Amino acid sequence: VKERIVQDKGLDHTLKLLEEGYPFIKNRMDLYKCNMFETHIMGKKTVCISGEEACKIFYDEDLFQRKGAMPKRIQKTLLGVNAIQGMDNKAHKQRKLFFMSLMTEDHQKKLGELFENEMEASADRWTNTEEIILFREARNILCKAACFWTGVPLPESDVESRADDFCAMIDGFGGVGPRYWKGKAARNRTEAWIEAIIEDVRQGKLTVKADSPLHQMAFHREPDGSQMELQMAAKELINVIRPIVAISTYITFTALAIYEHPECHDELVGGDNKYFEMFVQEVRRYYPFTPFVGAEVRKDFNWNQYEFKKGVLVLLDVYGMNHDSKIWNSPDEFQPKRFEEQKNRTFSFIPQGGGDPGKGHRCPGEGITIEIMKASLNFLVNKIDFEVPDQDLRYSLSRFPTLPESGFIMKNIRKK
């Protein structure tokens, strides 16, 4: 078969990727009018793919594996070295089902309630201050709620610094130099903290409810019957808490969406659950968060008249698919109503990964994310009044991950 893949011109495109940011893959697909191309990232041959059909092959475990796909620098900041994201086959399935058992509807509901209570309590404080930065407040609230929910003790005086560390881990993955070092240091501190807590639970020095994620993680057994290694248990518990704190990014974008789209206001006031759901789905589609996901070709195979060679890195363009006119009408417009139509979007709407979370690597936290976003949306629209002072609300597409520059400042907050 003659290879017909487009080659990205030049030797290595790591700098271009960092310069162009989120639209890097889509820019080239639009330019070359294709749905895949070959490039070099960090000296490694990399194939970028996009679209629903591409997503289906990407989540075919016979064709792709995660082992070896994730750069060490991302493991040392965002994910934790050798944790669930880099696992394959049976070991991955077992670990994943365990994660999902921590995120049942009941568990989800409990976390939602904790979050709402914390929001209420914080709002009392907000009414007594001139202004707040929503991103900062949201990440502290989520950090508190996540720790309480998992069973991790967190004194009030430590909330700010622990939330700082969770955010630095998230922020570190796309950074070079200081941002990377900060993320790495934050991870080391957080792992040491959580390891000590798990050790205390194992030794009976700290008692927590048997169904709490902390207890479950502390006494989880590997498929061979052995207790999970302490370091790994800590990394995986962090893999539960850290992404909950990360929902603060989506909360900030939700506030921005409310502000930027007054035309949605009437439907949001006293709005029903269905409209809230459509609105937060549109926030997850429209605003940038996950740029792409990566995997390594497991064995040689042919797709789209191209020979995928074992060991090659493949990036699936999450951001690009959220703005792809083959998938969405007027993709660059914010239109919650587009989600009115019930459609199977398993492989076409993938802000937190595609496919079946129980079988592949799709995020197990989507239910939690959507519930918390809906609660925040309702809170911002129906529970408080506030003003949005002049500020820089722009977000840069060339920064991984991004956020409105000001973090969304709110002023003169009053409870309704």
What are the DSSP calls for 160-194, one per residue? HHHHHHHHHHHHHTT--THHHHHHHHHHHHHHHHH
The answer to whether 216 contacts ligand HEM (rule: CB under 6 A) is no
Q: Note the Cα 382 to chain centre separation in Å.
A: 26
Residue nearest ligand HEM by beta-carbon distance: 365
* 109 and 375 Cβ atoms separated by less than 8 Å: no
The residue from 51, 172, 288, 353 that contacts ligand HEM (CB under 6 A) is 353
Which of 251, 257, 327, 288 has its CA nearest to residue 55? 327
Name the residue nearer to ligand HEM (CB basis): 285 or 362. 362
Name the residue nearer to ligand HEM (CB basis): 290 or 346. 290
The answer to whether 144 contacts ligand HEM (rule: CB under 6 A) is no
Q: Report residue 259 as tokens.
A: 């502000």
In whole angstroms, the minimum distance from the beta carbon of 299 to ligand HEM comes to 19
The residue from 13, 26, 76, 96 that contacts ligand HEM (CB under 6 A) is 96
The residue from 145, 154, 293, 410 that contacts ligand HEM (CB under 6 A) is 293
The answer to whether 108 contacts ligand HEM (rule: CB under 6 A) is no
**Beta carbons within 10 angstroms of residue 33's beta carbon:** 7
The residue from 279, 289, 395, 400 that contacts ligand HEM (CB under 6 A) is 289
Helix (H, G, I), strand (E, B) or coil at 324: coil
In whole angstroms, the minimum distance from the beta carbon of 236 to ligand HEM comes to 8
d(CA 15, CA 8): 13
The answer to whether 362 contacts ligand HEM (rule: CB under 6 A) is yes
Name the residue nearer to ligand HEM (CB basis): 197 or 388. 197
The answer to whether 364 contacts ligand HEM (rule: CB under 6 A) is yes
The answer to whether 37 contacts ligand HEM (rule: CB under 6 A) is no
d(CA 396, CA 247): 18
Strand-strand pairing, 36-41 and 6-7: parallel
The answer to whether 246 contacts ligand HEM (rule: CB under 6 A) is yes
Q: Report residue 163 as tokens.
A: 């939330």
Q: Cα angle vertex 347, ends 110, 31, to 5°?
A: 125
Segment lying near ligand HEM (by CB under 6 A), choices 26-34, 117-125, 356-364, 392-400: 356-364
The answer to whether 352 contacts ligand HEM (rule: CB under 6 A) is yes
* 308 and 334 Cβ atoms separated by less than 8 Å: no
The answer to whether 320 contacts ligand HEM (rule: CB under 6 A) is no
Name the residue nearer to ligand HEM (CB basis): 13 or 361. 361
d(CA 237, CA 243): 11
Long-range contacts of 78-83 (CB under 8 A, 24+ apart): 78/169, 78/170, 78/172, 78/173, 78/183, 78/242, 79/239, 80/187, 80/191, 80/235, 80/236, 80/238, 80/239, 81/235, 82/232, 82/235, 83/232, 83/235, 83/236, 83/239
The answer to whether 290 contacts ligand HEM (rule: CB under 6 A) is yes
The answer to whether 244 contacts ligand HEM (rule: CB under 6 A) is yes
* 297 and 309 Cβ atoms separated by less than 8 Å: yes
Name the residue nearer to ligand HEM (CB basis): 220 or 386. 220
In whole angstroms, the minimum distance from the beta carbon of 351 to ligand HEM comes to 6
Name the residue nearer to ligand HEM (CB basis): 234 or 293. 293
The answer to whether 368 contacts ligand HEM (rule: CB under 6 A) is yes
The answer to whether 85 contacts ligand HEM (rule: CB under 6 A) is yes
Name the residue nearer to ligand HEM (CB basis): 266 or 356. 356
The residues that touch ligand HEM, with contacts defined as CB under 6 A, are: 84-85, 96, 99, 239-240, 243-244, 246-247, 250, 289-290, 293, 351-353, 361-365, 368-369
